[in-house]
């Protein structure tokens, strides 16, 4: 059965050309790990830096690994990270469909075209996956069948796979934007399966066909695919197609010896969000795992997404593995939290404050104002502010502080004086409380700290608090403050 060349001509005519086109092509396995997020980010940045097109393609040909709802995780993560795609399953585009399983017929046609060109062959041998690894291509009897013989067996309904025919001799050289030129001997490459017995393509084949037909100019993927690149090159050459720019990213490691992986419980994007990290801080940190800015901005550490898009270039990418350091990410997160407007911080912190502080009369925005400069992660908040909800059980020893020159005796005198003064205070405002306590310390002829320390301990019941005595009393309100100070006095 002769191939209809018109089909291939029409497919070629549809390919968008003349611009940078990149794609993020995840498998829907339900988990956006850090390396995956970095691939998505770099792919998006290359397109945006060049004013090109960013495409989302779902690679679901490995049906055994699919997880229900996983595609939604991909959409949700990209949307939260503002990595907007110009073409994809949900928005369409000139080279739809953008889901591999919906492109099934295409792959079979291109595999047959490759057979006609002599760059692939029908193989009727039955092999398990384990045997595939040890299989010597020169021993495959199907390799030497004539096209007519093989076609007759196909027409008779015999099950088959289609394999790539790798040259026996010579070398294949490919160029990578990060790793440079790499040459391999063809005899070290196996005749990989392109179309499986069920008619579905392998990942390695579908990927090349789709990248070409979607006009992809830059292919960004992990360096674990470097070993497959020569076979991809030979496929492009077999079809007579232009090879895209390969960008292989060095791995993200948990430590000097281990790659990050879901199996080892390393965090996904979702996990990091749950651990109290901000999306912008995660993206900023992930961008610097394997890429560094150059020139005037070489020392810059904090980048908005827009600044990254402007600064990103392939020359800044590193061959060395990047180590994921949660402390460094925490440092970035603290910088981002402090840089937020008070309103935005209060909005982000609100749900975490309310986890611990249920009393509605206690103001979220007032508590948030105390936290902003003292918070590294949003998840630290409930523990820091739970004393507002309920006075914790604490030890009278807390009233003793060498630096503030307090001991139980001094603290007792300070609390007695503070209670009398606060009871009489006409207004319960920040300034009134502050001025009242400062004037009282002066009258008692003690340093401010000697008075403030016992007031804060009695009001909060803990040694370390966001905010000082004045702010805590102000937020608690007069009645609750006096109730707590009297409890402290009784303890002494």
Q: Which three-class secondary structure state does DSSP give residue 121?
A: strand
DSSP type of residue 259: B
Q: How many Å apart are CA 112 and CA 443, to the nearest integer?
A: 96
Task: Give me the helices (H) in 2-69, please.
Answer: 5-14, 34-49
CA angle 384, 388, 390 (to 5 degrees): 105
Which residue is listed with tokens 């309904």?
Answer: 157
Q: What's the length of the chain?
A: 492
Tokens read off for 248: 């292989």
Whole-angstrom distance, CA of residue 322 vs CA of residue 256: 9
* DSSP for 32-94, written as a single string: -BHHHHHHHHHHHHHHHHTT-EEEE-B----GGG--TTHHHHHHHHHHHTT---SBBTTTB-T
* DSSP count for the chain of H helices, then E strands: 20, 11
Q: Provide the greatest CA pair distance for the chain.
A: 108
User: For residue 301, what is the enclosing H or E element?
Assistant: none
Q: Which residue has the tokens 């062959």?
A: 121
Instruction: Please choose, from the candidates 484, 489, 443, 452, the residue with its C-alpha nearest in 3D space to the C-alpha of residue 471.
Output: 452
- Return d(Cα 419, Cα 415) in angstroms, integer: 6
Catalytic status, residue 137: no
How many C-beta atoms lie closer than 10 Å to residue 373's C-beta?
A: 12
User: Helix or strand or coil: residue 246?
Assistant: strand
Strands 120-123 and 53-56: unpaired
Q: What is the enclosing helix (H) or strand (E) of 355? A: helix 342-356
- Phi, psi at residue 246, to the nearest 5°? -85, 135
Nearest to 63 by CA among 212, 198, 208: 198
Given the residues 262, 319, 358, 405, select the one marked as catalytic.
262
Strand partners, 171: 185
Q: In what order do the strands lie in the sheet with 120-123?
A: 120-123, 161-164, 193-195
Sign of CA dihedral 203, 205, 208, 212: negative
Question: Using CA atoms in the order 33, 37, 39, 41, what is the torsion angle rounded to 10 degrees?
Answer: -170
Q: How far is CA 478 from the centre of its chain?
A: 46
Give the DSSP H or E segment for 187.
none
Active-site amino acid positions: 262
């Amino acid at each position: 059965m002769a191939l209809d060349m018109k089909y291939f001509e029409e497919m070629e005519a549809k390919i968008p050309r003349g611009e940078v086109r990149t794609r993020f092509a995840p498998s829907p396995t339900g988990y956006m790990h850090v390396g995956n997020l970095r691939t998505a980010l770099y792919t998006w940045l290359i397109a945006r830096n060049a004013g090109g097109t960013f495409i989302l393609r779902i690679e679901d040909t490995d049906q055994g690994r699919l997880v229900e709802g996983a595609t939604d995780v991909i959409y949700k993560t990209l949307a939260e990270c503002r990595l907007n795609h110009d073409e994809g399953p949900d928005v369409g585009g000139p080279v739809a469909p953008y889901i591999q399983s919906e492109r099934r017929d295409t792959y079979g046609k291109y595999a047959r075209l490759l057979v006609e060109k002599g760059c692939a062959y029908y193989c009727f041998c039955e092999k398990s996956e384990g045997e595939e690894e040890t299989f010597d291509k020169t021993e495959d009897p199907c390799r030497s069948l004539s096209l007519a013989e093989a076609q007759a067996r196909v027409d008779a309904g015999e099950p088959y796979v289609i394999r790539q025919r790798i040259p026996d001799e010579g070398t294949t050289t490919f160029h990578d934007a990060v790793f440079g030129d790499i040459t391999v001997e063809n005899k070290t490459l196996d005749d990989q399966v392109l179309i499986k017995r069920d008619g579905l393509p392998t990942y390695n084949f579908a990927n090349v066909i789709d990248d070409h037909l979607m006009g992809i100019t830059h292919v960004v993927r992990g360096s674990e695919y470097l070993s497959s690149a020569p076979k991809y090159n030979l496929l492009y050459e077999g079809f007579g197609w232009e090879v895209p720019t390969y960008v292989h990213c060095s791995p993200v490691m948990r430590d000097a010896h281990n790659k990050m992986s879901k199996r080892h419980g390393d965090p996904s994007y979702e996990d990091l969000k749950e651990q109290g990290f901000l999306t912008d801080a995660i993206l900023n940190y992930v961008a610097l795992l394997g890429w560094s800015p150059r020139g005037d901005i070489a020392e810059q550490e904090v980048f908005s997404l827009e600044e990254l898009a402007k600064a990103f270039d392939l020359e800044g990418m590193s061959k060395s593995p990047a180590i994921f350091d949660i402390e460094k990410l925490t440092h970035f997160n603290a910088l981002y939290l402090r840089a937020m407007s008070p309103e935005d911080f209060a909005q982000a912190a609100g749900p975490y404050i309310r986890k611990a502080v249920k009393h509605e009369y206690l103001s979220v925005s007032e508590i948030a104002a105390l936290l902003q400069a003292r918070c590294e992660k949003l998840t630290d908040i409930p523990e820091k502010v739970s004393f507002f909800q309920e006075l914790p059980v604490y030890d009278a020893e807390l009233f003793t502080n060498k630096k503030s020159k307090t001991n139980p005796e001094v603290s007792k005198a300070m609390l007695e004086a503070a209670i009398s003064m606060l009871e009489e205070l006409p207004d319960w405002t920040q300034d009134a409380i502050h001025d009242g306590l400062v004037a009282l310390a002066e009258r008692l002829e003690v340093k401010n700290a000697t008075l403030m320390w016992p007031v804060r301990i009695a009001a909060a019941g803990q040694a370390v608090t966001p905010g000082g005595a004045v702010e805590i009393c102000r937020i608690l309100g007069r009645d609750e403050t006096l109730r707590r100070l009297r409890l402290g006095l009784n303890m002494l």
